[in-house]
C-alpha cells in the first residue's frame, strides 16, 4: 500500500518521532493527553507497551495503569475502563504482526518471546500505514454504518509529520514570498494521499478532507506558540519556527562565547554543573518567569524538561535535568528498539520516568510541595534509606508517610517491582538505581547545590538564538 512516505524508514520515524513529540507538546500545552486528541494517546500507549516488550516478557496491569497515570492519559486512568481496553491493545498488536502478545487472567499483558528490534520497527511501519489508512475509517453504531473519522483525526496525523520536521530543524513560518512549512506540508500530504485511491469498507478516507483541517492545525500551532513550546525566530527577513528541543545539540552554543556571548554566561555553566550533580530540580508552573527561562534553556540545549502529567491530584510541576546527563541515562537504559531514542526519534518517554521519580522525591524530601513544611512532614531521612536500600540491598520498604506515587514511574517501566509491600530492583537496572542513589546523596551531603540560580532572560535569549541559528545553518548544509 502506497503511503505519503515511500520509504519504510521515513514511515517508521514519523510514527516513533511524531507521536511521542506531539504527546509531549500536548501535555506541556496544559491539555490532558487523550481528552481531545485521541489518536495520539492511543498510538502513544501502544508504542510504550511495544518498547517494553523489547525488554520484558510481561507487563503487569499495575504497570500499565501507572503508565496511564504518569502520563495523564485521560482515556485510561480509570482501571475498569483500562481493563476493557486491554483486548483492543492485543487486537492491535495482532493486526501489526505481534500476535504473540496476549492478556493473562490477572489482566497483565505477556509476550511469548521478547520482541526484536526488527520486529518492533516492522510494527511501527504497519502502525503508520494503518493510521494513515484504515485507522481513519470507523463503524458508527448509531447509524449502523461505516464512515470517516472526525476532522481532528486527520489533523493529528498531519501534525505528527509536521512536528517530526520541526524537530529535525527549524522551518519557515513566514517569509516575504509567502512560504509556510505547515501549509506546504498540508497541501502535499492531501495531494499525495488523494492520489492513492485506497478504500476501506467502501470508503476513501482522504477523498474529501474537510477544509477546516488546516485551520485546526494552525490554531493548535498558535496555541503552542503562545505557551512558548514552539517559538518563532526571525533570521533576516524570514521567520522560522523552532521546536522545544533539538535532536542533537551544538554544545559550543551553550558554553562558549563568540558572536553570541552574553553577560552572566557563567550562570549557565554553574546551573548546568549543579544539575549534573543533582538533576530533576523541581519548579512549579506557577513560577512563570522560571518556567519560561527553563523552556528557553531547553531550546538552547542546556537542559531537558521532564513534565508531570495533567491530573487533578498534583500541582503542575516540571523537573530540570542537565541535557548531557539525560542523554547519558538514556543510553544507559540500553533500549532494544533504538540505541539513542532521544536523538533518533526525539522519544524520551521511558527515560522521562526515571527523572520523574527523582523529581517527586525532591519535592517531598525538600518539603517543596505546598503544605509539607506547615504540616511538619519530614521525609528526607526515609527517602535516603529507600534509595540506599534499593542500591545496596536491591529491595526497600516504603513507609506510609512517604507517598508511594514517588516510585510509581519506576514501577511502570519495570525498573523496580512491588512484591509483598516492598520494592524490588530488576538487576538489569541496578546501574540506573545507583545513579539515582548517587544523585540523592549528593543532595543530602551538599545542600548548597539544591537551589538553582537562573541566568537572566537576556542571557537565555542569546543562547537560545545561537542554538537556533546553528541548527538552521546545519540543516542548510544537509538539504539535498
**What is the Cα–Cα distance from 376 to 333, expressed in whole angstroms?**
37
**CB–CB of 467/300 below 8 Å?**
yes
205-251 pLDDT, tens digit each:
999 999 999 999 999 999 999 999 999 999 999 999 999 999 999 99
**What is the Cα–Cα distance from 429 to 414, expressed in whole angstroms?**
9
User: Across residues 69-75, what is the average pLDDT?
Assistant: 83
Q: What are 469's three cell numbers? A: 541559528
Residue appearing with cell numbers 517508521: 12
- Per-residue CA distances from 246 to 19, 233, 276, 465 (Å): 16, 15, 19, 13
Residue appearing with cell numbers 490532558: 32
- Per-residue CA distances from 136 to 89, 209, 215, 290 (Å): 17, 11, 19, 41
12-29 pLDDT, tens digit each:
999 999 999 998 888 777
Mean pLDDT of the chain: 90
**CB–CB of 240/454 below 8 Å?**
no
**What is the Cα–Cα distance from 2 to 267, expressed in whole angstroms?**
52
Q: Pick left, alpha or beta for residue 475 (phi over 0 → left; psi -120 to 50 → alpha; otherwise beta).
A: alpha
Pairing relationship of beta strands 238-242 and 231-235 according to DSSP bridges: antiparallel
**What is the Cα–Cα distance from 67 to 193, expressed in whole angstroms?**
34
Say what the pLDDT of residue 184 is.
Answer: 97
pLDDT value at 47 more than 60: yes
Element (DSSP H or E) covering residue 51: helix 38-52
**CB–CB of 462/262 below 8 Å?**
yes
| Residue 21 burial class via C-beta count within 10 angstroms: exposed 0-12, middle 13-18, buried 19 and up | buried
Say what the pLDDT of residue 162 is.
Answer: 97
**CB–CB of 117/336 below 8 Å?**
yes
Say what the pLDDT of residue 438 is.
Answer: 97
**CB–CB of 264/314 below 8 Å?**
no
Q: In terms of pLDDT, which residue wins out, 91 or 312?
A: 91
Percent of residues, the chain, with pLDDT higher than 90: 73
**What is the Cα–Cα distance from 71 to 19, expressed in whole angstroms?**
14
DSSP category for residue 259: G
**What is the Cα–Cα distance from 65 to 84, expressed in whole angstroms?**
12
Q: What are 17's three cell numbers? A: 518521532
**What is the Cα–Cα distance from 21 to 166, expressed in whole angstroms?**
10
**CB–CB of 423/417 below 8 Å?**
yes
User: Across residues 172-185, what is the average pLDDT?
Assistant: 96
- The separation between CA 377 and the C-alpha centre of its own chain, rounded to angstroms, equals 32
**What is the Cα–Cα distance from 229 to 242, expressed in whole angstroms?**
9
**What is the Cα–Cα distance from 215 to 183, expressed in whole angstroms?**
10
DSSP category for residue 308: P
**CB–CB of 97/123 below 8 Å?**
yes
Q: What are 160's three cell numbers? A: 505528527
For 431-440, letters b (16+ CB in 10 Å) and e give ebbebbbebb
**Which residues does residue 233 pair with via DSSP β-bridges, in sequence order?**
240
Q: Other C-beta atoms within 10 Å of 238: how many?
A: 16
pLDDT value at 339 more than 90: no
Q: Other C-beta atoms within 10 Å of 84: how many?
A: 11
User: Across residues 139-166, what is the average pLDDT?
Assistant: 94
Say what the pLDDT of residue 202 is.
Answer: 93
324-336 pLDDT, tens digit each:
999 999 999 999 9
Angle (CA) 71-75-52 rounded to 5° is 50
Say what the pLDDT of residue 310 is.
Answer: 67
pLDDT value at 480 more than 70: no
361-415 pLDDT, tens digit each:
998 887 666 666 555 667 889 999 999 999 999 999 998 878 878 999 999 999 9
User: Across residues 153-157, what is the average pLDDT?
Assistant: 95
Confidence bin at 316 (pLDDT 50/70/90): confident
Say what the pLDDT of residue 404 is.
Answer: 76
Say what the pLDDT of residue 1 is.
Answer: 60
Nearest to 265 by CA among 281, 254, 274: 254
pLDDT value at 280 more than 80: yes
Spatial CB neighbours of 313, under 8 Å, sequence gap ≥ 6: none
Angle (CA) 451-457-460 rounded to 5° is 85
254-276 pLDDT, tens digit each:
987 555 455 688 899 999 999 99
Element (DSSP H or E) covering residue 318: strand 317-322
Say what the pLDDT of residue 259 is.
Answer: 52
**CB–CB of 172/239 below 8 Å?**
yes
Amino acid at each position: 500500500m502506497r503511503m505519503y512516505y515511500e520509504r519504510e524508514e521515513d514511515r517508521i520515524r514519523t510514527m516513533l518521532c511524531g507521536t511521542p513529540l506531539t504527546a509531549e507538546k500536548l501535555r506541556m500545552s496544559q491539555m490532558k493527553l487523550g481528552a481531545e486528541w485521541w489518536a495520539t494517546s492511543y498510538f502513544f500507549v501502544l508504542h510504550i507497551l511495544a518498547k517494553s516488550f523489547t525488554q520484558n516478557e510481561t507487563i503487569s496491569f499495575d504497570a500499565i495503569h501507572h503508565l496511564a497515570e504518569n502520563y495523564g492519559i485521560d482515556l485510561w486512568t480509570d482501571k475498569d475502563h483500562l481493563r476493557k481496553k486491554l483486548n483492543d491493545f492485543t487486537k492491535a498488536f495482532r493486526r501489526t504482526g505481534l500476535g504473540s502478545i496476549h492478556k493473562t487472567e490477572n489482566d497483565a499483558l505477556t509476550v511469548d518471546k521478547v520482541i526484536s528490534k526488527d520486529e518492533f520497527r516492522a510494527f511501527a511501519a504497519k502502525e503508520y500505514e494503518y493510521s494513515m489508512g484504515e485507522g481513519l475509517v470507523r463503524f458508527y453504531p448509531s447509524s449502523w454504518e461505516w464512515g470517516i473519522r472526525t476532522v481532528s483525526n486527520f489533523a493529528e496525523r498531519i501534525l505528527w509529520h509536521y512536528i517530526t520536521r520541526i524537530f529535525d530543524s527549524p522551518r519557515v513560518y513566514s517569509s516575504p514570498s509567502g512560504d509556510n512549512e505547515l501549509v506546504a506540508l498540508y497541501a502535499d500530504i492531501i495531494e499525495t494521499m488523494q492520489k492513492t485511491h485506497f478504500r476501506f469498507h467502501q470508503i476513501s478516507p482522504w477523498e474529501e478532507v474537510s477544509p477546516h483541517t488546516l485551520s485546526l492545525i494552525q490554531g493548535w500551532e498558535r496555541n503552542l506558540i503562545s505557551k512558548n513550546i514552539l517559538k518563532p525566530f526571525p533570521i533576516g527577513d524570514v521567520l522560522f519556527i523552532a521546536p522545544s528541543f533539538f535532536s542533537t545539540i551544538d554544545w559550543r552554543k551553550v558554553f562558549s562565547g563568540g558572536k553570541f556571548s552574553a553577560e552572566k554566561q557563567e550562570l549557565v555553566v554553574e546551573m548546568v554543573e549543579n544539575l549534573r550533580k543533582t538533576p530533576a530540580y523541581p519548579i512549579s508552573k506557577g513560577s512563570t518567569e522560571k518556567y519560561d527561562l527553563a523552556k528557553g534553556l531547553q531550546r538552547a540545549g542546556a537542559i531537558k524538561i521532564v513534565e508531570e502529567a495533567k491530573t487533578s491530584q498534583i500541582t503542575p510541576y516540571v523537573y530540570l535535568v542537565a541535557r548531557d546527563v539525560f542523554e547519558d541515562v538514556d543510553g544507559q537504559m540500553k533500549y532494544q528498539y533504538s540505541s539513542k531514542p532521544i536523538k533518533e526519534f526525539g522519544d524520551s518517554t521511558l527515560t522521562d520516568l526515571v527523572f520523574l521519580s527523582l523529581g517527586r522525591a525532591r519535592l517531598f524530601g525538600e518539603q517543596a510541595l505546598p503544605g509539607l513544611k506547615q504540616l511538619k512532614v519530614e521525609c528526607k531521612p526515609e527517602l535516603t534509606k529507600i534509595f540506599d536500600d534499593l542500591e545496596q540491598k536491591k529491595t526497600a520498604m516504603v513507609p506510609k508517610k512517604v507517598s508511594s506515587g514517588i516510585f510509581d514511574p519506576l514501577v511502570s517501566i519495570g525498573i523496580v517491582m512491588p512484591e509483598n509491600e516492598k520494592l524490588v530492583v530488576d538487576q538489569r537496572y541496578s546501574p540506573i538505581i545507583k545513579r539515582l542513589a548517587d544523585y540523592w546523596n549528593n543532595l543530602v551531603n551538599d545542600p548548597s547545590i539544591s537551589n538553582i540560580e537562573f541566568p537572566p532572560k537576556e542571557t537565555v535569549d542569546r543562547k537560545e538564538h545561537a542554538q537556533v541559528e546553528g541548527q538552521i545553518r546545519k540543516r542548510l548544509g544537509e538539504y539535498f
